[in-house]
Amino acid sequence: MTDARPAAVVVLAAGEGTRMRSATTPKVLHELCGRSMLGHVVSAARELQPEHLVVVVGHAREQVTAHLAAVDPDARAVVQEQQLGTGHAVRVALDTLPGLSGTVLVLPGDAPLLPASTLGDLLTTHALASAATTLLTAEMSDPTGYGRVVRTGGSVAAVVEHKDADDATLSLREVATSVYAFDAEQLVAALGRLTTDNAQGEEYLTDVVGLHRRAGLTVAAHLAEPATDTMGVNDRVQLARARELLRDRILERHQRAGVTVVDPHTTWVDVDVVLEPDVTIHPGSQLHGSTRVAAAAVVGPDTTLHDTEVGTQARVVRSHCLGAVVGAGADVGPYTYLRPGARLGVQTKAGAFVEIKASSIGDRSKVPHLSYVGDAVIGERSNIGAATVFVNYDGVDKHETTVGDDVRVGSDTMLVAPVSVGDGAYTAAGSVITEDVPPGALGVGRSRQRNIEGWVARKRPADQGKQP
Ligand code: UD1
Ligand code: CA
């Protein structure tokens, strides 16, 4: 592939994307499977190791440029002040690369499913044919909206936009995908001769094909398969369709590498998620961001993980985890909410109905029922009784709690931070612990019970023996 390495990749992302009907998000920043459309395109382009990676921006340029800097700091944004067409956009990009020679690859910013391997194949075809233009085409069952590829004697003669096509041309199913490899010098020459003499009054990049052909230059084509890899996303119906296709592609990759996905239709795994062999994902689960799940762990049903690490053989059932670390063999859920900074050691337990934030739970410790743990460090082999609350907030500031090893916190204990419970200590059920409990001690922080003999007979004589 080194031979075919492009001198420049130009990604077109200046259009408004009116068909998305969004007041907040430019088209190319819409998300699918953990990345923006532009992020997917730029990442495929980056795999080709171009000398220059240029993204043409226009509408919402600040937003798009900032996003680009975050996803690929080495890519360069070039501003197209007015969206005068795809050909104009490429011209604006090449104006910033004077004297460029070699191959220029043009990609639309709204084709998030394009695999780098297909782009590599296009570049190989282009190099072997010594072509001026090589276009990536696809056979669409419904070619509505796409530019049609017109062939004469088998070779490509022109691309005609849907809005400019007559009925005979509209019946053609081979379409231009907006992905092209060009010889840089021949491209610059043709861009200088584009007109706006068409239905949309724009400078069409597609017209370069006809110009090169009429100039007697070689125009080659590479047919992409499956065609859906090249789909352009113009509205939210197409976005959902693209997301579904990408979801299937991601899940198939994991399944072939040894992951059991019980119900692919209700399972969503972002593109950067790492899953080791023998992981099982049950229905209704969503794994986002930089989540990693180690071998033989079980996730779901109905579990959402964002940027969360799950250790080998751990189980996370019906839970919601953000920026958490779950140790090997740990047992989480059902109905556990792990928030950023929750770190669970090996063979720990958290849940049912437990929330943990910015706290570490030492190996083999348990928080089994209905508790809140915030800003705490818990040692090893300790047990936190049901309905315990780590009272970390005094209304103004947050404070920390330390619980040692082998501690038994009684049910319904309030640990009012800052406070610590020493190794091997106990707290009595129902205690409000406001002072440190020394190692090995029993902390009792509640009023002593007293029984008032005969109280009911004296005070509620009518109630005796009646159901409430
Ligand atoms: C384009 C192609 C069509 C092809 C289809 C594939 C042209 C004229 N048409 O049509 O042949 O079948 O893609 O999906 O090229 N853009 C700019 N500046 C502009 C205009 C557009 O940067 O002045 C960008 C858009 O943001 C978008 C891309 O170019 O990312 C394609 O533009 P779009 O309006 O979506 O073109 P289509 O109508 O889909
Ligand atoms: Ca498009």
> Quick check: CB of 180 below 6 Å from ligand 1?
no
Cα–ligand 2 centroid distance for 40 (angstroms)? 15
Q: Kindly give the number of the ligand 1 atom that is closest to the alpha carbon of 56.
A: 22
Ligand 1 pocket test, candidate residues 159, 178, 228, most atoms within 8 A of CB: 178
Is ligand 1 within 6 A of the CB of residue 159?
yes
Q: Which atom of ligand 1 is nearest to the CA of 110?
A: 30
Q: Would you say the CB of residue 437 lies under 6 angstroms from ligand 1?
A: no
Longest dimension (CA), the chain: 112
Residue 175 CB less than 6 A away from ligand 1:
yes
Nearest ligand atom owner, CA of 93: 1
Q: Are 382 and 406 within 8 A, CB to CB?
A: yes
Q: Give the per-residue pLDDT at 462.
A: 81
Whether pTM > 0.95 for this model: the answer is no
pLDDT value for 344:
98
Using the atom order of ligand 1, give the atom closest to the CA of residue 28.
30
Q: For residue 346, give both structure tokens.
A: 């090996």
- Alpha-carbon distance of 151 to 170, in angstroms, equals 13
pLDDT for res 1: 41
Q: Based on the residue annotation, tell me whether 222 is a catalytic residue of this protein.
A: no
Asked if residues 87 and 108 have their Cβ atoms less than 8 Å apart, the reply is no
Dist. CA 36 → ligand 1 center (Å): 17
Whether the CB of 205 sits within 6 Å of ligand 1: yes
* Crossing angle for the helix pair 37-47 and 116-129, to the nearest 10 degrees: 50
- Considering the segment(s) 8-230 as one domain, its CATH architecture is Alpha-Beta Complex (3.90)
Q: What spacing in Å lies between the alpha carbon of 288 and ligand 2's midpoint? A: 27
> Could you say which of 52, 59, 162, 369 is catalytic?
369
Query: Which residues are within 5 Å of ligand 2 (an ion), measured at CB?
Result: 110, 232, 234
| Ranges of each domain in the chain | 8-230, 259-443
Residue nearest to atom 3 of ligand 1 (CA): 147
Query: Does 89 sit in the ligand 1 pocket, CB within 6 Å?
Result: yes
Give pLDDT < 70 ranges for the chain. 1-3, 464-468
For position 468, what pLDDT does the model report? Answer: 64
Which residue of 16, 86, 231 sits with most ligand 1 atoms within 8 Å of its CB, as the best mutation to test the pocket? 86
Identify the nearest ligand to the CA of 194 by its number.
Answer: 1
229 CB near ligand 1 (under 6 Å): no
pLDDT at res. 3? 55
Q: How far is the CA of 448 from the centre of ligand 2 (A)?
A: 74
Residue 83 near ligand 1, beta carbon < 6 Å: yes
Whether residue 301 is preceded by a cis peptide bond, meaning omega within 30 degrees of 0, is yes
Phi, psi angles (nearest 5°) of residue 146: -85, 155
- According to CATH, the topology of domain 259-443 is UDP N-Acetylglucosamine Acyltransferase; domain 1 (2.160.10)
Q: Which residues of 301-330 are buried (b: 16+ CB within 10 A; e: fewer)?
A: bbbbbbbbbbbbbbbbbbbbbbbbbbbbbb
In this prediction, residue 2 carries a pLDDT of: 41
Task: Tell me, using a 6 A CB cutoff, whether residue 13 lines ligand 1.
Answer: yes
Q: β-pairing, 103-108 with 174-183?
A: antiparallel
Three-class SS of the chain: CCCCCCCEEEEEECCCCHHHCCCCCCHHHCEECCEEHHHHHHHHHHHCCCCEEEEEEECEHHHHHHHHHHHCCCCEEEECCCCCCHHHHHHHHHHCCCCCCCEEEEEECCCCCCCHHHHHHHHHHHHHHCCCEEEEEEECCCCCCCCEEEEECCEEEEEECHHHCCHHHHCCCEEEEEEEEEEHHHHHHHHCCCCCCCCCCCCCCCHHHHHHHHCCCCEEEEECCCHHHHCCCCCHHHHHHHHHHHHHHHHHHHHHCCCEECCHHHCEECCCCEECCCCEECCCCEEECCCEECCCCEECCCCEEECCEECCCCEECCCEEECCEECCCCEECCCEEECCCCEECCCCEECCCEEEECCEECCCCEECCCCEEECEEECCCCEECCCCEEECECCCCECCEEECCCCEECCCCEEECCEEECCCCEECCCCEECCCECCCCEECCCCCCCCCCCHHHHHCHHHCCCCC
Closest residue by Cα to atom 26, ligand 1, is 15
pLDDT in tens, 42-84: 999 999 999 999 999 999 999 999 999 999 999 999 999 999 9
Q: Please, which residues have CB within 8 angstroms of residue 176's CB and are 6 or more apart in sequence?
A: 135, 136, 137, 146, 147, 148, 149, 159, 206, 209
Q: Which atom of ligand 1 is nearest to the CA of 205?
A: 15
- Looking from the CA of residue 231, the nearest atom of ligand 1 is 14
Q: Is 80 in the pocket of ligand 1 (CB under 6 A)?
A: yes
Ligand nearest to the CA of 18: 1
Is 14 touching ligand 1 by the criterion CB < 6 Å? yes
How far does residue 286's CA lie from ligand 2's centre (Å)?
29
Q: Which two tokens stand for residue 226?
A: 């499956």
CA of 178 to the centre of ligand 1 (A): 7
